Structure 1
Amino acid sequence: MSVPSMSELSLLKALWKEQPLSARELHQRVEPELGWSFSSTRKTLERMLEKAMVSQQLRHGVQVYEAQLEKVSTLAAFAHDFGRRVMEMDGPLPANMFTGSKLIDQQELEQLEQMLQDWPDEKEGGQ
């Protein structure tokens, strides 16, 4: 799985909380965080459509978007990439790092911890 960029992750997080959303609704949710124009939101959504990160449907005459990436597995890939590339860690990130997150509930936290523990080792031909 490719790891979303920070701006793509912002859009995905908005969709995981509430979907489907129009491009305008998505922009309203991420603009305080990203501080960018509506055209930047549209361009990012187009890129995400090409990457199959989101889907687009016409509902009541409005194009709306839904996340196609599953939340916990996407967060696990993001956390794994962060641990490996940024923190230069060989092992999984500690799950307690995610305690208190507003993005995931306890069941998702347990699932995330398991996914990080079971992540394939790159040296053994994994990811």
Structure 2
Amino acid sequence: MTDPSDLELEVLKAFWRGGAMSAREAQGLIEPELGWSASTTRTVLERMVAKGLLIRRAVHGLAVYEAKKAKVDVIGGVLNRLRGLLEIDGRLPASAFSGSQILSETEIQELEALLNAKPPVDGEAK
């Protein structure tokens, strides 16, 4: 799976809030924020499936999409990239995100554990 772009993160936020949904339902959540047409939304959803960010399955003949990875895992990956970019060696306090609209207190605790877990040494299982 590749890292999501900023726009793909916005799409993922819609799925984290709404759960599994059709392209039309996703369009209803995404359009006010991003201003995309329905065809653009469908194209982006299919590209996200190809990138391994979303899962598509058929439900009664209708394509239904859902996020492939949990929000804490994706956000943790983004923050770890930021940690590398800023060359931060110490712990990252996930408590800084306590005002988040998309993370619950439990998810903030999971995120902090993920961010501050020791990375595996080369050769160890990940």
- Structure 1 residue 48: deviation in Å? 1.0
Q: 1:38/1:108 Cα in 2 relative to 1: closer, same or farther (>3 Å)? A: same
Partner of 1:4: 4
Write out per-residue CA displacement over residues 24-78 of structure 1, whole angstroms, 9 at most, x where no aligned residue.
Answer: 1111111222122222211211111112211112223321101111211111001
**Is the partner of 1:118 in helix, strand or coil?**
coil
Q: Which residue of 1 aligns with 2:95?
A: 96
Partner of 1:75: 75
- Distance in 2 (CA, whole Å) between partners of 1:78 and 1:91 is 17
Name the TM-score, length of structure 2 as normaliser: 0.83
Structure 1-normalised TM-score?
0.83
Pairing 1:1-127 to 2, within 5 Å after superposition: 2-85=2-85, 87-118=86-117, 120=119, 125=122
Q: Relative to 1, partners in 2 of residues 1:64 and 1:83: Cα closer, same or farther, differing over 3 Å?
A: same
SS of residue matched to 2:115: helix
In structure 2, list runs of 5 or more residues that go unmatched: none
The worse-fitting range, judged by mean Cα deviation, of 35-44 and 87-96 is: 87-96
Distance in 1 of aligned mates of 2:25 and 2:39: 13
Unpaired runs of 5+ in structure 1?
A: none
Aligned residues: percent identity? 41
